[in-house]
Amino acid sequence: MLVGLVLLALVLLTVSFRSPTSGALHSAQGWGAAALRPFQVAAERVARPFGDAYDWAAGLASAKSENEKLRKQLRDATATATANADARQQLAELKRLMHYEGLKSFPNDYRAVNTTVISFPGTFAKQVTIAAGSDDGIALNTPVVTADGLIGHVTNVFPKTAQVTLLTDPSSSVPAIDVTHGVTGLIQRGPQGTFILNRVPKDAVVEKGDLIVTRGTVDRRYPDYYPRGIQVGTVLSASPSDIATFLTVQVTPFAQFDSLDAVAALVPAKRK
Amino acid sequence: MSAVDGLKAAALLFVAAILQLSIFSQARVLGGEPDLLLVTLVAVALLRGSLFGAGGGFFGGLILDTGTLSKLGLSSLVLTVAGYWIGRYGETTGRDRRHAPFLSVATITALYSFGVLVVHFVLGEPAPAGAVFRGLLPSIVLNLILTAPTYWLVRRLLRPLDRGDYATEVQLLG
């Protein structure tokens, strides 16, 4: 019996390794995942109040100092929002005058499929399962965000569920731009929960606190998974090194990858 | 051992796999993660032997791989071997020992982590050995904390067998 089960496991492993996103076994896994989904969602809902209670208790310790910090951030953000509203109006006017034909932009050309995370990343796979799939309009490479910022993109899709590979996965690489200084690079996993904005020339100017967002498609022939303008994080430090070819730019992500709960998959909206 | 035992074991492993997917996989402490499915499998295998261990490991692994949408068969492969091995221990030397569940959980947590690491490495996928070994001790401690209540619950549902019910290792003829 042992030999039979081991052989069966090896056959399953071989088939799913050879065709990870299509085929009969993929469909069977999709049905299985759809059948498991109600149980996972129910268990997650039962556990959520306990998790919330723990987070509430843990947050009490730093609530006062955090409140002060957030008030300051709110004042700064209000000032920035006022300036941005004026700039946006001017930009729209200029685009209209120049008959500018733009690419899809975030968030106007996308609709959010709000869903919940039903399985969480482990030591090996930096992937999560979400409770929405192709029936909801999600496709391969659909970007996924939280209220804080970008978390990854869909790498396997089933009718009722989808697998999202997080930015913390070693294979992940996202074209991004420093909106403060216009410097572009690739967001990749860095040390201790941070990211690195890689491939930034040494003579580029990047400063602590700069906002990093997705760069989006530059050339229509090579469309990017992510639309322009999804928040990724802020620059933690930027320093040149004698031995490194590029500037070392560490980025603190906005999204909390260790406590993912509600997420939104960004599905292209139909143009009116 | 009856079909009812099989159904009880399947139900236990199903619930353990769902709880593992939805709750326990979030509870990371010092890089370690409690594994309720593994602890439940150890309890079932110790109480019902190698066949239940191997079958339960395969079944539990299949649910885990389906729920996480990862490669089917990966967890099944390692859990089948783990369940069989613990089952053999339960059928032989570990049968009447009080420390058997704890010893089995500690040992199998280490071997399971190593086994999954090897399979990932062989498949050419990321195999962070450093993270696995750093999280090993916390994982063992977390699993040991789960062992007593889990074994107690499984033992209530699957009463220990008499000596004669276990598979005999050697049969003398003539």
pLDDT (tens, 9 = 90+) of chain B, 174 residues, equals 578 888 999 999 999 999 998 888 888 888 888 999 999 999 999 998 899 999 999 999 999 999 888 889 999 999 999 999 999 988 887 666 888 899 999 999 999 999 999 999 998 888 888 888 988 999 999 999 999 999 999 999 988 776 666 555 556 665
Does B72 lie at the interface with A, CB-CB under 8 angstroms?
yes
Quote the minimal CA–CA distance from A7 to chain B in Å: 8
**pLDDT given for residue B11 in this prediction:** 94
| Residue at A101 is within a domain | no
| Residue at A74 is within a domain | no
- Give the pLDDT band of residue A272 (cuts 50, 70, 90): very low
**pLDDT given for residue B10 in this prediction:** 94
CB contact under 8 A, A125 and B68: yes
**pLDDT given for residue A23 in this prediction:** 84
| Residue at A12 is within a domain | no
Does B125 lie at the interface with A, CB-CB under 8 angstroms?
yes
**pLDDT given for residue B169 in this prediction:** 57
C-alpha–C-alpha distance, residues A80 and A70, integer Å: 15
Contacts of A43 in chain B (CB under 8 A): 18-19, 21-23
What does each C-alpha distance from A14 to A3, A8, A137, A158 come to in angstroms? 16, 10, 29, 20
B49 in Cβ contact with B167 (< 8 Å): yes
**pLDDT given for residue B102 in this prediction:** 93
C-alpha–C-alpha distance, residues A62 and A43, integer Å: 30
C-alpha–C-alpha distance, residues B17 and B59, integer Å: 10
CB contact under 8 A, A6 and B132: no
Contacts of A20 in chain B (CB under 8 A): 71
Range of the domain at A223: 110-268
The whole-model pTM stands at 0.80
Candidate from A15, A119, A123 with C-beta closest to B68: A119
Give the CATH number, domain containing residue A264. Answer: 2.40.10.340
| Residue at A130 is within a domain | yes
- Give the pLDDT band of residue A203 (cuts 50, 70, 90): confident
> Where is mean pLDDT largest: A46-50, A110-114, A189-193, A223-227?
A110-114
| Residue at A24 is within a domain | no
CB contact under 8 A, B54 and A1: yes
pLDDT tens-digit series, residues A79-129 = 888 888 888 888 888 888 888 776 666 777 788 999 999 888 877 878 899
A20 in Cβ contact with A26 (< 8 Å): yes
What does each C-alpha distance from A11 to A88, A157, B50, B119 come to in angstroms? 57, 22, 22, 14
Residue A77: closest CA among A187, A226, A205, A231? A231
Q: What is the DSSP string of B79-148?
A: HHHHHHHHHHHHHTTTTT-TTHHHHHHHHHHHHHHHHHHHHHHHTTS---HHHHHHHHHHHHHHHHHHHH
Does B120 lie at the interface with A, CB-CB under 8 angstroms?
yes
Candidate from A9, A118, A124 with C-beta closest to B73: A9
Quote the minimal CA–CA distance from A208 to chain B in Å: 29
C-alpha–C-alpha distance, residues A208 and A224, integer Å: 27
Size of interface A-B (CB pairs under 8 A): 123
| Residue at A139 is within a domain | yes
Enumerate chain A positions whose Cβ falls within 8 A of a Cβ in B. Answer: 1-2, 5-6, 8-17, 20, 25, 29, 32-33, 36, 39-40, 43-44, 47, 51, 118-120, 122-125, 127, 129, 156, 158, 161-163, 169-171, 258-259
Average pLDDT in the A63-85 region? 88
CB contact under 8 A, A8 and B74: no
CB contact under 8 A, A15 and B72: yes
| Residue at A13 is within a domain | no
pLDDT tens-digit series, residues A233-245 = 999 888 887 787 8
Nearest CA in chain B to A171: B126
Complex prediction ipTM: 0.83
Dihedral, CA atoms, A106, A111, A115, A119, nearest 10 degrees? -50
Report the number of distinct structural domains present in chain A: 1
The percent of residues in chain A predicted with pLDDT above 70, rounded, is: 97
| Residue at A190 is within a domain | yes
Quote the minimal CA–CA distance from B76 to chain A in Å: 6
- Three-state SS letters, B36-52: HHHHHHHHHHHHHCHHH
CB contact under 8 A, A40 and B23: no
Quote the minimal CA–CA distance from B120 to chain A in Å: 8
B35 in Cβ contact with B139 (< 8 Å): yes
**pLDDT given for residue A142 in this prediction:** 92
